[in-house]
Amino acid sequence: MTKTRASHFINLGPANRIIAIDTLSKTVTCEPSVTMEELVDALLPYNLVPAVVPEFKWLTVGGILAGAGLESSSFRYGQFGDLLIEATYILSNGQIIICSPTKNSDLFYRALGACGTFGLLIRATLNVLEVKSDCFVRCNYFRTNQPMENLTSLLQHDYVDAIVFSDYTVIITGERIDKLKLPKTAKIQTFSKAWNPWYYQHIKAVHSKSNLTMITEYVPLKDYLFRYDRGAFWMGRYIINPLQDKVQCYPRYIRNLLNLFPFGGYNILSRTLLAPIITTFSLYKRLHASPMSTIAETLFFQDIYIPKSKAKEFLTFLQSGTFFMEDGGILEPIWLCPIRSTLTSQKLSPHFWKNDRNDDQSFIDFGLWTHQSNWQIGSCSVRHATKALEEEAMRLGGRKMLYAHSYYSRDQWFSIYDVEWYKAMKRKWDPDYAWGDLYDKLISY
């Protein structure tokens, strides 16, 4: 039985200031409501950038530290939380605590991924990287049918991720380069303008138009960092094509014809005119305004970290579609992102490696976001698919980000997380459970 008490509210105000940028120590200190775009925009004039920039512009420093966040540089630097070098929290008794790897280190590490259940973050100091002025990213798009064998062998780059389509995978590597070193024939591609292609659609298109296995282009650094923001990876396609669920019964040639019309599908006119409502900020604002039951019964959002040695097996399971209740379900595309594990005591983080071994085990994050045409309000299909994926991930030694719906039983939860350790932390830092219990806060019933 967890302790509970009446809710109380703390008004921090906007809490979105960049407090200090230190170019000598290469650190930035900021408040928790600073967004990723605000953080990048503040740092770039000093030729600095966070080593890990989660790909949605509106995500906040505090939100990512309380939960989890990664990107294509995570194979080298881990999660965004691994950049943290000092944090300041307000405890439930009003005390302000400064913590670091050497001061109040238990709170420093273990608040990461705790979803605010130990204290309220009010300030964070992060390590950042130095980059060249007018930096570009040289992107190589490599088409393969053996993603796992190739994905973990390309780790000499600055950035590595992959998109799994139904019939092939594109592995994406990137290197930061100075604008002055761009080849004269360089193909420069942007993704921030309203008429620009969505990133995953662009990747698919360049390979459909070419027989080359490897394609190279150059992307401005900020465009690269937030390349998935427009269209929210691919979830925006369900907004830009409102007829999708209603025309599945028609032959493919009729569906392709409908896609030529404005707002009938993804095309330059629809993505340009609808650009203001297809950013992640707008999409998630609409999502949060929707009834919880609608989200739970029609949309599937999951990020699951699988040990790299088991990643191929998990991908086979996903592509088999056996976790769908109905025949014909397809999970496509799938995002793959390698991430370095942490051996620090971030026991609630999905990249925590709990085995007592000295090797640096790494994970592959599987970004799984979809809506199937037969998932309607009142359906239990999404819940069934989520539970099936949770069980398979547990079997393979994986963990999931806890931002999405979860259906773990208490026994399953206890097998993944050290509950006695969590209770001891609560006794020390939040004995009255003013910030709530993690299981009760996150689990869907």
The pLDDT value given to residue 370: 86
Q: What is the pLDDT of residues 103-138, one digit of tens each?
A: 999 999 999 999 999 999 999 999 999 999 999 999
Q: What is the pLDDT of residues 61-116, one digit of tens each?
A: 999 999 999 999 999 999 999 999 999 999 999 999 999 999 999 999 999 999 99
Q: Measured between alpha carbons, how far is 297 from 310 in angstroms, rounded to an integer? A: 29
What is the arithmetic mean of pLDDT over 128-152? 92
The 10 Å Cβ neighbour count of residue 276 is: 9
The pLDDT value given to residue 192: 93
Q: Measured between alpha carbons, how far is 217 from 72 in angstroms, rounded to an integer? A: 17
Domain parsing of the chain, residue ranges: 18-131+433-442, 135-225, 237-277, 290-407
Which of 26-35, 189-198, 314-323 is least confident?
A: 314-323
36-74 in b/e form (b: 16+ CB < 10 A) is bbbbbebbbebebbbbbbbbbbbbbbbbbbbbbbbbbbb
Confidence check: pLDDT of 259 > 70? no
35, 230, 421 from 106: Cα distances, Å: 26, 38, 11
Confidence check: pLDDT of 35 > 70? yes
The pLDDT value given to residue 273: 77
The pLDDT value given to residue 325: 66
The pLDDT value given to residue 320: 87
Three-class SS state of 312: helix
Query: What fold does the segment set 18-131+433-442 form as a domain?
Result: 3.30.465
Q: State the pLDDT confidence band at 10, using cuts at 50, 70 and 90.
A: confident
Three-class SS state of 79: coil
Q: Measured between alpha carbons, how far is 368 from 299 in angstroms, rounded to an integer? A: 11
Confidence check: pLDDT of 443 > 50? yes
DSSP per-residue letters across 115-142: TTSS-EEEEEEEE-EE--TTEEEEEEEE
Instruction: Confirm or reject CATH 3.30.70.2520 for domain 290-407, answering yes or no.
Output: yes
The pLDDT value given to residue 243: 46
pTM across the whole model: 0.90
The pLDDT value given to residue 377: 80
CA torsion angle 382 387 392 398 (round to 10): 100
Q: Residue written as tokens 């407090």?
A: 19
Confidence check: pLDDT of 242 > 60? no
Which of 300-314, 325-339, 386-400 is least confident?
A: 325-339
The pLDDT value given to residue 356: 54
Instruction: Please state the φ and ψ torsions of residue 162, each to the nearest 5 degrees.
Output: -155, 155
The pLDDT value given to residue 12: 76
Q: State the pLDDT confidence band at 246, using cuts at 50, 70 and 90.
A: very low
Q: What are 121's strand-pairing partners?
A: 89
The pLDDT value given to residue 440: 93
DSSP per-residue letters across 211-238: --SEEEEEEEHHHHHTTTTBTTTTTTHH
Q: What is the pLDDT of residues 220-237, one digit of tens each?
A: 999 999 999 998 898 877
Tokens of 116: 């605010």
The pLDDT value given to residue 247: 42
Q: Which residues contact 324 (CB under 8 A, 6 or more apart)?
A: 372, 381, 384, 385
Tokens of 268: 């330059």
The pLDDT value given to residue 86: 98
Q: State the pLDDT confidence band at 343, using cuts at 50, 70 and 90.
A: confident
Q: Hey, what amino acid is at 415?
A: S
Confidence check: pLDDT of 249 > 50? no
What is the arithmetic mean of pLDDT over 137-156? 88
Mean pLDDT taken over the chain: 87
Confidence check: pLDDT of 285 > 70? yes
The pLDDT value given to residue 248: 47
Q: State the pLDDT confidence band at 250, using cuts at 50, 70 and 90.
A: very low
What is the arithmetic mean of pLDDT over 331-337? 94
What is the arithmetic mean of pLDDT over 205-220? 89
Q: Please compute, for residue 26, the number of CA atoms within 13 A of its CA located in the half-sphere on the CB side.
A: 11
Percent of residues, the chain, with pLDDT higher than 70: 89
Q: Measured between alpha carbons, how far is 288 from 401 in angstroms, rounded to an integer? A: 18
Percent of residues, the chain, with pLDDT higher than 90: 64
Confidence check: pLDDT of 282 > 90? no
Q: What are 89's strand-pairing partners?
A: 97, 121
Q: What is the pLDDT of residues 289-320, one digit of tens each?
A: 777 777 788 888 999 999 999 999 999 999 98
The pLDDT value given to residue 378: 78
425, containing H or E segment? helix 419-429
Confidence check: pLDDT of 1 > 50? no
Confidence check: pLDDT of 351 > 80? yes
What is the arithmetic mean of pLDDT over 401-425? 93
What is the arithmetic mean of pLDDT over 165-187? 93
